[in-house]
Chain A
């Protein structure tokens, strides 16, 4: 499989919540190869390093991908100023995405904050057999609920302050769900404490679990060995690389 790096036009930009933007980018080469959970590496004018952003949606027919990004620092701030009609420099699709089972199986995805976008593509694959539990700080930060519903998934919403959906965290809602249901696979993306808790619950119940990790990156393609994370493969502990071996890992393989 070849990698593509090029300038691609932004067809649509939407503001989803404060500081969170949703871009639809026309990049047929990337769209035709991409799978949910993979990411693109975005060049930011004036900065040395590219910024990794997950692919939130893929439309092969029209050749577009969707990127949802939050302003976190100087680089994402510059990216947030890009507008419809302007060009964005992407390398992609990169990394190893989510394992998708037969759409007849039952999948549950848990995501927190800006960890939610990569789960959309994965859970959409399961239509009505998909359940997504998302957690946000507050009502004002909630994103993508309509998209999950449009994809046919059952969407359970939590906010830390109770201003929308259930009052509480993703982990609490997942715990409750697992008391009555046993999905075939669990996906998770979000802050480390959440990933640890989800991985522990899945292990306890013996359910397959895949988690998407983040690490600071330089090359994004597996060459510089910058984005190391601790993993156990075939009983041997060592470093894997989030950009190439991940960002999605089987939770049993990762030393969290």
Chain B
């Protein structure tokens, strides 16, 4: 049995596998399949200041090896999260990440302040949701805006702060460096890639929102590349996600530079995916005689210009 414990910005996780925000709600549904304590942590559904209804349905479209979603951050609001969801999660013995999604900088500050003193172990500031008009991706699209919102939230919280980056930018490393400079303790990536599907019979987009976020195995190579680039550009830890569906995928992502990983769309195909990934990682490490999963982080040996 390999040592699967990891730390991200000083926050301990009993293993590196964390269900991704939006794919796992607040964990209640999946506790009906297995105890949540099997997981390293949970990244909760993106939470706004007030209850948010989300976008009109249909919100889901299938794609080759993936899916689009345009849920639009439907959530009960931060007060309901703290009052109804957090007390339940606190009893489950896993690291709790609150995913904060304000539509203005002021909202982000207020949400972070409300989380002070709660059992939340870490804040994941979502500056990358492609499905809402204000906030979300708008914050993550330029280094200046990403820096400004990070600075504001940094000033409002004493909790470890992880900023979740959008892949829908020209240079994700510039954004990562900007949030690092303003005091982010970690970055997580990638959020979904903007996509679209059209029903050719009706000539209408499948999603009522017209466009949506692509995730699932289709995005995995893009995510590995971005995690690798960002891990090389910043000193703070990186949490990697995007298309991870197996223990081998998780190991690959960690070799690219991720200190821990999140699993989203794979859970829809197999609700046990996060638990299986933990077991598969453990088996692979044992087979290779590697004592601790931490030893593989960032160990990819890239080819040099000389082909060596």
Contact = CB atoms under 8 A, between A and B. Distances in A.
Interface string B8-24: 00000000000000111
Contacts of A48: 62-63, 65-67, 216-217, 265, 268-269
Interface string A85-128: 00000010000000000000000000000000000000000000
Given A48-B63, A49-B60, A216-B57, A223 B265 contact: no
Interface string A135-158: 000000000000000000000000
A47 B29 contact: no
B57 A228 contact: yes
Contacts of A2: 32-33
A48 B32 CA distance: 22
Contact of A223 (B23, B56, B63): B23
A120 B197 CA distance: 35
A170 interface: no
B271 A221 contact: yes
Given A48-B65, A239-B54, A226 B29 contact: no
Contacts of A216: 57-61, 206
Nearest to B32: A3
B71 interface: yes
B267 interface: yes
Nearest to A46: B65
B192 to A, nearest CB: 13
A43 B271 CA distance: 11
A238 B57 CA distance: 12
Interface in B13-52: 22-25, 28-30, 32-33, 45
Given A216-B59, A224-B23, A225-B71, A50 B268 contact: yes
Contact of B58 (A47, A215, A222): A215
Interface residues of B, number: 36
A217 B25 contact: no
A53 to B, nearest CB: 16
A222 B54 contact: no
A49 B57 contact: no
A239 B270 CA distance: 26
A219 B23 contact: yes
Given A5-B271, A218-B69, A223 B60 contact: no
A229 interface: yes
A49 B62 contact: yes
A202 interface: no
Interface string A190-230: 00000000000000000000000001111111111111110
Interface string B104-137: 0000000000000000000000000000000000
B53 A5 contact: no
Given A5-B270, A48-B265, A238-B53, A227 B60 contact: yes
B54 A225 contact: yes
Given A48-B63, A216-B206, A226-B59, 16 more contacts: A2-B33, A3-B32, A48-B67, A48-B265, A48-B268, A49-B62, A49-B268, A75-B62, A215-B57, A216-B57, A218-B69, A221-B32, A223-B30, A224-B71, A225-B74, A239-B53
21 contacts: A3-B32, A3-B33, A3-B271, A5-B33, A5-B271, A43-B270, A48-B65, A50-B268, A216-B57, A218-B67, A219-B267, A221-B30, A223-B28, A223-B267, A224-B69, A224-B268, A225-B45, A226-B71, A227-B60, A228-B54, A239-B53
